[in-house]
Structure 1
């Protein structure tokens, strides 16, 4: 499948694609600005903030091209994500927005839930 086709998948299908790629590559991608601060998106409709994450560099780069702010992709290995990021996000009251699509939809979940789903994917891959 091509990049554009994957981005046009439904929110749930993109989430499943995310899990399979992350299970294989063992890393996720976020965006950071020039001060190395990670991108947080505030959902006006729902009244919460989330950390957008992508399954690969290519998808994160495509998102960078669609925003005016200067951002660059940064990868986080799963051990670091599980040990440092999940507790940090929970402590800050942030959700995780998995693989924002070209249609502006995003799969939102608690950091502990995405950790569980990724761990399930890792264990089913063996």
Structure 2
């Protein structure tokens, strides 16, 4: 990825970043998150629930490896595994999904909506 694309996408509003996420992970067939020896990074939402965080590229995830996530590394997740295992498991656990945090905000999207959007995008391939 070039630096300009990374900078521009980090400045998009959360809905545009979500749309970019769907397209990019469909293109490259992988999703990215951050983890350390304790596990995957999580956030607390305003309502007190826990959210797992995902990014479209390694570069985007690494830009968020700061503050409480400073000692984390970007790890890829195969898109098929994300769709078949991760999202159903997240839904069963009652955990939220935070898409494309940019060190300011992210968008929380219901699992069923993410699945639907990914299936629709993947039909284009």
Provide TM-score, normalisation by structure 1: 0.88
**How far did residue 49 of structure 1 move?**
1.2
Give CA-to-partner distance per residue, 1:70-91, whole Å, 9 cap, x none: 1111111111111211121112
In structure 1, the residue matched to 2:116 is 116
In structure 2, the residue matched to 1:39 is 41
Write the mapping of 1:52-71 to structure 2, written as runs, cut at 5 A. Answer: 52-64=53-65, 66-69=66-69, 70-71=71-72
Moved segments of 4+, more than 6 Å: none
Q: Structure 2: state its 5+ residue gaps.
A: none
Q: Does 1:80 align with 2:81?
A: yes
In structure 2, the residue matched to 1:25 is 28
Q: Structure 2: how far apart are the matches of 1:11 and 1:101?
A: 9
Aligned length: 121
Q: Structure 1: how far apart are the matches of 2:13 and 2:121?
A: 20
Q: Structure 1: state its 5+ residue gaps.
A: none
- Report the 3-state secondary structure (helix = DSSP H, G, I; strand = E; otherwise coil) of the residue aligned with 1:47: coil
Q: Structure 1: how far apart are the matches of 2:109 and 2:49?
A: 11
